Chain A
Amino acid sequence: MKNLFLIIIFFIGISCKSQTYPLTETIVPPGSYISDTQNQLTAFEGNWMGTWKGKTILINFKKIIHGYDDHDNCYRDYLIGKFQVKDASGNILFDNLTIPDNNAKIQGKRIFANGTYSLTYGDDELCFKSGFIRINFNNSAKTEIRFKFTEISQLIEPDCFYHGKPADQRPEPLPKEIILTKQ
């Protein structure tokens, strides 16, 4: 009788445990866990650097383990990205390296079968400039990342601080396409 009770408890315990899904999944039942079971995200962690248009960008990717995703009501392993951009003279143009992890402007979402990892970027301080980022390793040593950023189209209202300015006077926090090198 005692054994039967333990067996029932064991199976209840198993059924209550949240289901785990791989990083390729996008739609999962509430409470599920999208886990980096193959440890694919770890190699992206760390500082990466690149230059474009005379500017230098330093991006730090950090892996968050079992973080709660309130949009999809699930848990997931994912990357967050924080960055600093300097102009040719070393002046800091953008810097969010020290903001809290839960406010990171770059948030990872999923990985594709071809190894490309997909993230989103959103910045309400830049009049809701936002877009999609895709990263994948550019060499087998995993010391280079191909970084691609696509911006979401937006209408810019007169109250936006860069409204009416020419392209070179508008904020460009991220390069459209760049090779980043591991630091």
Chain B
Amino acid sequence: MNKNLLWPILIGFCILLHSCRVEDDLAQSYKEPQNKFAAFSKNGNAPVSYSKAFEYLYNRYYEIRDIPMKSQNKSGEPVPYTDFRFHSQIMEIENGDKTMIFPVINGNRVIAITAGLIDKEETYLKYYYVSQDYDQYDFAINAFQKLVDQYSNTTNRAIVGGGGGLGDGGDGDTHEIPNIDIQPPKGGGGMYFPLPGNPGACMACPPDDGLPSGDCPKFKACGSNGGGGTAGNNNTDPCTKIADKQRNPKYAAKFNALNKEEVFNMDKERGYYEKQPPLGVNTEAGFVQIDGPPGTTGLDLPDDTTGISGLFHSHNNTDGSIKIFSPTDVRTFINTLIGNAGTYGGGYANAYSTVVTSQGSYTLKFTGKTHPGGIDYYTTKVWDEWYRDEMEKTQDSNGEFPQNKVEDVFNRFLKEIVNKSGLEIFKVTENTAVKMSYNTATKKTDLDPCP
């Protein structure tokens, strides 16, 4: 009798213990980590792009330490850099850590391999050079070299101590660079690929002790909802965003394609829009060229504006043209580009609109956390009338519009009429940006160069 009672009590005790353990596990799993890397976290339906996350965090590490990017050394020679456009598949190691390898390139030659490693909890990240003792080393070097040969046929954009990329070869937009497939490494101790046993493993590489490693505060990239490699990116600093874009070979190519006298002297406007892939599709955004009808000063957006988060377009040298954004340009930025950037492009801060003219180029950015609200017909009408009346006042007797006065009027327009918190304008070149803002006291434009 006693024996019969003992068994149910023991079983009940075990069940109780187990349920407590399960509850603890559940509580653990639901607890939102405060020290995770945002870039490796899923954001909604958008899958994590590990290559982009590794690239973003690598660059970010140097960016927040203000380590300048260089394309050449003092002697004018190319310097080695890690090119994150080329990568292996993401490899999950036995304990759940994840790793990916990237080529180190010098003068179009793959000279070494960088490994990125994020631990299972996504709380610790490190990059290191892989030793030649790695049994797949030669295979990986050769596989990367084939890709580099195939997809890079233009100038280098090398970065010392930072990520970079080769020029995409003109029509690079249409190429999806495949990853290389390699055998996942085995081992443990947090460094699955063998470390260089001596400094000679990659003599040409930047100092190994300079490679990024650490927890997310060290990268200023903590969060639990995307960032960098995924849709959400907590960094809304427009200077950083513009600099990131300017370093992007595709973006730079489009800017340079418009910033030409032959384009300014065309009898039509030209532009490129950047369209994000649909949610759940993990591919790079693409650029599409659009031309206005000959003899006109307008540029049509495509029938379907879904996913368009960025836009370049020219304002040409026709007599009396205004060489800065028009009210409809601003309306499109707010109504279309900001919203699409929020839904498809990783956050409102990733929206941009750039107008390229012979008198200077300008980029609109938005730093707000919430959408500034759509611009309706009546508001557009008010904007249009104000803009026309004030721009007319800048006109000289020859019918020209002096650019400094045009900038003052436009900056006043943004501040006093559009009046959307977080909406900012920058005067840009291929590789610089200067924030412009209207000073109500001086009635002039203040300039604040980006660092």
Q: Which of B256-306 contact A (CB under 8 A)?
A: 269, 293-305
Known: A116-B397, A122-B385, A170-B296. A155 touches B313 (CB 8 A): yes
Are A150 and B298 in contact (CB-based, < 8 A)? no
User: Which of chain B's residues have a CB closer than 8 A to the CB of A167?
Assistant: 293-296
Are B313 and A122 in contact (CB-based, < 8 A)? no
Known: A154-B297, A154-B298. A132 touches B320 (CB 8 A): yes
In the complex, per-residue mask of B298-320: 1 if CB is within 8 Å of any chain A CB, else 0 = 11111111000001010110111
Q: Which of A1-52 contact B (CB under 8 A)?
A: 26-27
Complex Cα gap A109–B394 (Å): 12
Complex Cα gap A124–B327 (Å): 12
Q: How many residues of A are counted as interface, with CB atoms below 8 angstroms from the partner's CB atoms?
A: 34
Complex Cα gap A156–B311 (Å): 13
Complex Cα gap A48–B298 (Å): 28
In the complex, per-residue mask of B394-417: 1 if CB is within 8 Å of any chain A CB, else 0 = 010101000000000000000000
User: Which of chain B's residues have a CB closer than 8 A to the CB of A26?
Assistant: 393
Closest residue of chain B to A116 (Cβ to Cβ) is: B397
Known: A124-B381, A150-B320, A158-B305. A164 touches B300 (CB 8 A): yes
Are A153 and B298 in contact (CB-based, < 8 A)? yes
Are B298 and A156 in contact (CB-based, < 8 A)? yes
Q: How far is the CB of B11 from chain A (nearest CB, A)?
A: 68
Known: A112-B397, A118-B392, A154-B297. A128 touches B328 (CB 8 A): yes
Complex Cα gap A78–B238 (Å): 44
Interface size class of B (residues with CB under 8 A): 35 or more
User: Which of chain A's residues have a CB closer than 8 A to the CB of B399?
Assistant: 116, 132, 134, 148, 150
Are A153 and B301 in contact (CB-based, < 8 A)? no
Known: A71-B385, A120-B389, A128-B327. A151 touches B300 (CB 8 A): no
Q: Which of A98-120 contact B (CB under 8 A)?
A: 109-110, 112-114, 116, 118, 120
Tell me if B322 is interfacial: C-beta within 8 Å of chain A: yes
In the complex, per-residue mask of A140-183: 1 if CB is within 8 Å of any chain B CB, else 0 = 00000000101111111110000111110010000000000000
User: Which of chain A's residues have a CB closer than 8 A to the CB of B321?
Assistant: 150, 153
Tell me if B35 is interfacial: C-beta within 8 Å of chain A: no
Are B326 and A154 in contact (CB-based, < 8 A)? yes
Closest residue of chain A to B383 (Cβ to Cβ) is: A128
CB < 8 Å neighbour of B326 from A109, A110, A112, A152? A152
Are A132 and B392 in contact (CB-based, < 8 A)? yes
Tell me if A60 is interfacial: C-beta within 8 Å of chain B: no
CB < 8 Å neighbour of B384 from A128, A132, A150, A166? A128
User: Which of chain A's residues have a CB closer than 8 A to the CB of B429?
Assistant: none
Are B332 and A150 in contact (CB-based, < 8 A)? no
Complex Cα gap A112–B400 (Å): 13
Tell me if B386 is interfacial: C-beta within 8 Å of chain A: yes
User: Which of chain B's residues have a CB closer than 8 A to the CB of A148?
Assistant: 319, 399
Are A113 and B397 in contact (CB-based, < 8 A)? yes
Complex Cα gap A150–B297 (Å): 9
Closest residue of chain A to B300 (Cβ to Cβ) is: A156
Tell me if B329 is interfacial: C-beta within 8 Å of chain A: yes
Are B392 and A151 in contact (CB-based, < 8 A)? no
Closest residue of chain A to B395 (Cβ to Cβ) is: A118
Known: A113-B397, A155-B328, A170-B296. A130 touches B301 (CB 8 A): no
Complex Cα gap A113–B396 (Å): 11
Known: A130-B384, A167-B295. A153 touches B326 (CB 8 A): yes
17 further interface pairs, Cβ-Cβ under 8 Å (given A112-B397, A151-B298) = A118-B392, A128-B328, A132-B392, A132-B399, A134-B399, A150-B321, A152-B326, A153-B326, A154-B329, A155-B313, A156-B301, A156-B328, A157-B328, A157-B336, A158-B303, A163-B301, A167-B296
Question: When A and B form their complex, which 10 residue pairs have the shortest distance between CB atoms, in order from nearest?
Answer: A150-B320, A167-B293, A154-B328, A26-B393, A112-B397, A156-B300, A120-B388, A153-B297, A155-B332, A151-B297
Q: List 12 A-B contacts (CB under 8 A).
A: A116-B397, A120-B389, A122-B385, A128-B380, A150-B319, A150-B399, A155-B299, A157-B332, A158-B303, A163-B301, A163-B303, A167-B295
